[in-house]
Structures are given as C-alpha cells and as structure tokens.
Amino acid sequence: MSRIHITTTVNGEAAEFLTDPRETLLDVLRNQLGLTGSKEGCGTGDCGACSVLLDGVLVSSCLVLGVEVQGKTVETIEGMATDGALHPLQRHFIEHAALQCGFCTPGILVAAKALLAQNDNPTETEIRYWLAGNLCRCTGYDKIVRAVQDAAAEMRGAA
Amino acid sequence: MRYHAVGSFDEAVRISASATGVTRFLAGGTDVLVQLRAGIVQPDDIIDIKHVPGVKDITRRADGGWDIGAAVSGVELGAHAALCRDWPGVVEGMRLVGSTQVQGRATLTGNLCNGSPAADSVPGLMAAGATVSVTGPEGARVMAVADIPKSPGKTNLKPGEVITRVHLPPRGANGGDSYLRFIPRTEMDIAVVGCAVNLRIDGDTITEATVALGAVAPTVMLVPAAGAALVGSTLDDAALDALVIAARAACRPISDKRGTAEFRIEVAGVLARRAASIAYARAKGETA
Ligand SMILES: Cc1cc2nc3c(=O)[nH]c(=O)nc-3n(C[C@H](O)[C@H](O)[C@H](O)COP(=O)(O)OP(=O)(O)OC[C@H]3O[C@@H](n4cnc5c(N)ncnc54)[C@H](O)[C@@H]3O)c2cc1C
Ligand code: FES
Ligand code: FES
C-alpha cells in the first residue's frame, strides 16, 4: 500500500504526514499528529464529536480523507485556547457545567465557535439547529445552549 | 485504494474509463466515506473532482438560468442570495441534507448520484426542470435530472460518466417552488416522504405546475397527473383535492421502520397540498 505525503497547516502551524488514502482526517489527527482532542463517536457523520474547521468551514473530520487536506488549513480543538488562556466558550462550558463525560465537548466547542464567527448573537433556535449534528448523551442540551449564549454575550462585550 | 486529485473532468473520465476495479467520484464525500467505512463500497480508485477549475462556481446565464458547479456545497448554495430568491424550493431541499457539518461538504450532484429514493434535493431539482451536463468516454451530453435515477443506489449514467454542472432554467416571472419533507424529528433524519412543487401563475390562475415525490417509490419521480391537477385552477379546494388524489395514486412505497406504506401514501398527499400552497404564495410574491 503506497502512502502519500501530505503537507498542510494545523492550528496555524505547518504539519506533514504520510497517509494511506483510506485514512480519514480524524485518524490522521489522532494517530499521526497526536491531536486526540477530536473524538470518534460514530465514524459516520452523525455525532459531530470529530468536528474541525477545514479552510474555515465546519466539517466532520471522519468524513474527510487525510489526503484531501493537502495545502489546506485545519483547525482543531487544540487550537482553541491561546497562550494557555481558555476561549470564552471553554470557560462558559465549565461555568455552566455544560459537560459530563466530555466526549462530545470538543466537537461542540469547535462547532459553536464556527457559529459565533458568523453570528455574534444567535437565538436559542439558531444555536439548536446549528448544533443539531452534535450529539450529547449525558448533559442534555440546555446547559450547552446557555453556555454558548453567555460566551456570545461576553464576546460581544455585553457581559 | 488509489486517490486521484484530478485537474480536469477529461482526466477524471480517462482514469475512470481505464479503471478495472470499483471507481467512485468524490465530491463532498458524505456518502462515499460512510459507504467506505461501512465496507459497503470499497473503491479501488477514488477520483476527487474538487480541484477541477470552476466546480465551486454558481453563475447566472445570459438567459437568466443558473449553472451550479458539481462541487458546490449546501452551505455555498444557501449563501447565494440571488439563487435563493429564484429557486427557494431547490435550495431548501439541499439545505435539509444532514447537519451543519454535512452541509459544509455535501453537494447536489452527490445527492443525485448517490441514487437514494429519499434524496432531499432531488425532488426540487426535478420539479424545477433541472438538467445536468455529463462528460464521459463517448463525449458530452445533457440529461434531465428526472432521467438520472434508475433504482435505489443506481443511476442511468454510463460507466465513466461524470456530472460537471447542474443547470436550472430561468425562473421567469410569477413562478414559485417549494420542498417539504416529513421526518419523525426536526433535524437529522431521512425523509419518510418528500414533495416538491414548482408552478407559475397568471393573475390567480396556475398556468404550469410540476410535482415530484421522494421516498415513496424506488426512485424520486415526477408525478405529471399531480401537476395537471393544478393547472387552470386558482389553487381552490377542488384542485387541491385532485392534487392529493393524484399524488397518492402515484405512490408505490415500502414499509420500513420510518413508516408504513399506508402512512407514506397518506403523508404524500398532505405534503403535496402544503408544498403547493407555499409555491403558490411564493409565485404571488407573498412569502420568501
Ligand atoms: C449524517 C448524515 C446525514 C445525512 N442526511 C441526509 C439528508 O437529510 N437527506 C439526504 O438526502 N441525504 C443525507 N445524507 C446523505 C448525503 O449527505 C447526501 O446524499 C449528499 O448530498 C451527498 O453529496 P456528496 O457531495 O457528499 O457526495 P459524495 O459522497 O461525494 O458522492 C455520492 C455519490 O455520487 C457520486 N458522485 C459524486 N460526484 C459525482 C459527479 N460529479 N458525477 C458523477 N457521480 C458523482 C459518487 O461517486 C458517489 O457514488 C446524509 C449523510 C450523512 C453522513
Ligand atoms: S465521529 Fe465524525 S461525526 Fe461522529
Ligand atoms: S458530556 Fe458526555 S456526551 Fe456530552
């Protein structure tokens, strides 16, 4: 099986890896680049635990081949805190206890960040639809929605 | 498995035509990767069309119609305000596909070529009279979207043929379209029934109407009798009743965990009535 050499940018830094064309971006992130924050909940696009940004677009990394990211930029949960300071979304998730086992949390944070990048004041309905592809089996979604709303308010300078 | 990031559709056709094993074109990959992972389809050659110049373009033709590149995603379609104004039903069908994450990747072309009887964007395309440009080993041709589906998971594309663009006709004056589906929850499920209606009015009278149904037969299909039931009417109760009867009469559904055949037939009529009312209101400029 011939492996393909891929160069890409992950969380702002140049990255390279050798991949079997069958491998998904999620496998590459976790097994080759040591970025285990993105989780595999289903492997079939249903749960959102593997959410990343690919050239700024929210995608499920289990539905992207590793070879497809040649020359692109990938942003994962590992890039969310800057210089050790948690992102407002991360802080509000902790404050609201918007997580229990935490398996869904990286994907939800990445997805919520993508929402706030294009809508700094989403309604509850908008948040729920945007996150409909992020499944959580423990927490229930109310705390998650409230954490996103509070983070949005803080980021707007309203809190 | 070999991965080919081709720079032209001719190259895609060349690779596909000379391949001896299982080949898959790769657009958004939201069906291809799921099938790959599940072991349902193990391609020997994957041909990624996303690097072909122009595949992400949405352009209005001189005649007022639209050309949509084969790799335009649901998000990109929904972000195009002028296209959404012209063909809200086509766009809302595509926008129902999957989650935000799936929308970032999934395409009209992939939805059509995957061949699901429940494909959400296909009824709207058929009702709109959409066509596709196809390139293959024997040259190029244009096909109606309505002629693409063959049976569940199968299309009438010949081996090696690839879709390069989707074409929507000019919207023209006083037209409206709409798509509705029924699923047991509000998001993230497969249509139990889908229905698209596209019509044109003159004053209050419907002059043209096309109805397509999904998930009630082996393929998405046009229902000419349902469209005919509306033409000449002002969407009065008699016309709507005739529409419902014609839509239900066309259904040949299966029963599965999402719904029985009887339920699907019932719902097909309900959705046809509602979709026609929305399309009519849009044609009158009453709603977006
Ligand atoms: C979580 C999840 C939820 C989903 N929900 C829905 C839903 O609600 N409704 C729905 O209808 N679908 C749904 N789908 C299915 C899927 O997302 C859609 O069918 C989507 O539109 C496929 O587009 P794609 O670009 O990802 O196709 P791909 O996976 O890239 O391709 C699909 C098929 O089309 C072929 N193909 C691709 N491009 C071309 C081309 N240019 N010429 C010829 N053949 C081509 C491929 O070889 C393959 O056989 C869902 C999928 C997932 C994972
Ligand atoms: S692991 Fe990718 S969506 Fe579930
Ligand atoms: S906290 Fe456990 S799945 Fe969400």
pLDDT in tens, B146-174: 999 999 999 999 999 999 999 999 999 99
Residue A146 pLDDT greater than 80, yes or no: yes
Longest dimension (CA), chain A: 55
Helix ranges (DSSP H) in chain A: 25-27, 88-95, 105-118, 124-130, 141-156
Do the domain assignments include residue B267? Answer: yes
For the CA of A139, the closest atom of ligand 3 is 1
Q: Where does residue A96 fall: left (phi above 0), alpha (psi -120 to 50 degrees), or beta otherwise?
A: alpha
Contact criterion met (CB below 8 Å) for B16 and B25: yes
Residue B35 pLDDT greater than 70, yes or no: yes
Report CB contact under 8 Å: B100, A46: no
Burial class (CB in 10 A: 0-12, 13-18, 19+), B263: middle
- Closest chain B CA to residue A130: B100
CA B248, CA B125: separation in Å to the nearest integer?
A: 21
For the CA of B23, the closest atom of ligand 1 is 47
Q: How far is the CA of B199 from the centre of ligand 1 (A)?
A: 27
Write out the residue range of the structural domain in which residue B14 sits: 1-48
CA B165, CA A119: separation in Å to the nearest integer?
A: 31
Report CB contact under 8 Å: A59, B105: yes
Which residue's C-alpha comes closest to atom 3 of ligand 2?
A45
In the predicted model, what is the mean pLDDT of chain A?
96
Which residue's C-alpha comes closest to atom 4 of ligand 3?
A136
In the predicted model, what is the mean pLDDT of chain B?
96
What was the pLDDT predicted at A104? 97
At B56, give phi and psi (nearest 5°). -105, 5
Q: Which of B222, B197, B220, B194 is nearest to B209 (CA)?
A: B197
- With contacts defined as CB-CB under 8 Å, which chain B residues touch A70? 5
List the single residue in B2, B48, B98 with the smallest CB-CB distance to A68: B48
Amino acid at B85: R
Q: Is B188 on the interface with A (CB under 8 A)?
A: yes
What was the pLDDT predicted at A1? 58
CA B263, CA B68: separation in Å to the nearest integer?
A: 35
Residue A159 pLDDT greater than 80, yes or no: no
For the CA of A48, the closest atom of ligand 2 is 3
Do the domain assignments include residue B279? Answer: yes
List the single residue in A21, A58, A131 with the smallest CB-CB distance to B104: A58
What was the pLDDT predicted at B222? 98
pLDDT digits (tens, 9 = 90+) for B165-222: 999 999 999 999 999 999 988 777 889 999 999 999 999 999 999 999 999 999 999 9
Residue B232 pLDDT greater than 70, yes or no: yes
Q: Which carries the bigger pLDDT value, residue B258 or residue B139?
A: B139
What was the pLDDT predicted at A54? 98
Q: Which of B55, B72, B100 to mutate to test the interface with A (most CBs of A within 10 A)?
A: B100
SS3 A53: strand
CA B99, CA A129: separation in Å to the nearest integer?
A: 8
What was the pLDDT predicted at A108? 98
Q: B12 falls in which pLDDT band (50, 70, 90)?
A: very high
Do the domain assignments include residue B141? Answer: no
Structural domain tally of chain B?
2
Counting residues of chain B whose pLDDT is more than 70, the rounded percentage is 100
Report CB contact under 8 Å: B101, A133: yes
Q: Which residue has the tokens 């009278």?
A: B205
Q: B67: which 2 tokens?
A: 């050309």
Q: A140 falls in which pLDDT band (50, 70, 90)?
A: confident
Pocket test for ligand 1, best of B33, B56, B102 (most atoms within 8 A of CB): B102
Q: Which of B276, B149, B262, B156 is nearest to B216 (CA)?
A: B262
Do the domain assignments include residue B259? Answer: yes
Evaluate: CB of A46 within 6 angstroms of ligand 2.
yes
For each of the domains in chain A, give its residue range(s) and CATH number, in order of start: 4-77 (3.10.20.30), 88-158 (1.10.150.120)
- Give, in order, the Cα–Cα distances in Å from A42 to each of A50, A135, B31, B47: 9, 10, 14, 25
SS3 A10: strand
pLDDT digits (tens, 9 = 90+) for A26-68: 999 999 999 999 999 999 999 999 999 999 999 999 999 999 9
Q: Which of B101, B102, B105, B114 to mutate to test the interface with A (most CBs of A within 10 A)?
A: B101
Q: What is the DSSP string of chain B?
A: -EEEE-SSHHHHHHHHHH--S-EEEESS-TTHHHHHHHTS---SEEEE-TTSTTTT-EEE-TTS-EEEETT-BHHHHHT-HHHHHH-HHHHHHHHTSS-HHHHTT-BHHHHHHHT-TT-TTHHHHHHHT-EEEEEETTEEEEEEGGGSEEETTEESPPTT-EEEEEEE----TTEEEEEEEE-SSSSS---SEEEEEEEEEETTEEEEEEEEEESSSSS-EE-HHHHHHHTTS-S-HHHHHHHHHHHHHH--PPPBTTB-HHHHHHHHHHHHHHHHHHHHHHHTTS--
Report CB contact under 8 Å: A63, B48: no
Residue B105 pLDDT greater than 80, yes or no: yes
Residue B288 pLDDT greater than 70, yes or no: no
SS3 A60: strand
Do the domain assignments include residue B253? Answer: yes
Q: In what order do the strands lie in the sheet with B139-144?
A: B58-60, B66-69, B162-168, B131-136, B139-144
Q: Is the pTM of this model over 0.95?
A: yes
Burial class (CB in 10 A: 0-12, 13-18, 19+), B53: exposed
Q: Is B93 on the interface with A (CB under 8 A)?
A: no
Mean pLDDT, residues A144-150 taken together: 97
- Closest chain A CA to residue B42: A22
How many other C-beta atoms lie within 10 A of the C-beta of residue B238?
11
Do the domain assignments include residue B153? Answer: no
Instruction: Provide the 8-state DSSP code for A71.
Output: T
What was the pLDDT predicted at B184? 86
Q: In what order do the strands lie in the sheet with B2-5?
A: B2-5, B45-48, B23-26
Q: In what order do the strands lie in the sheet with A57-60?
A: A13-19, A4-10, A73-75, A51-54, A57-60
CA A27, CA A33: separation in Å to the nearest integer?
A: 9
- Closest chain B CA to residue A59: B101
Q: A158 falls in which pLDDT band (50, 70, 90)?
A: low
Do the domain assignments include residue B53? Answer: no
- With contacts defined as CB-CB under 8 Å, which chain B residues touch A130? 100
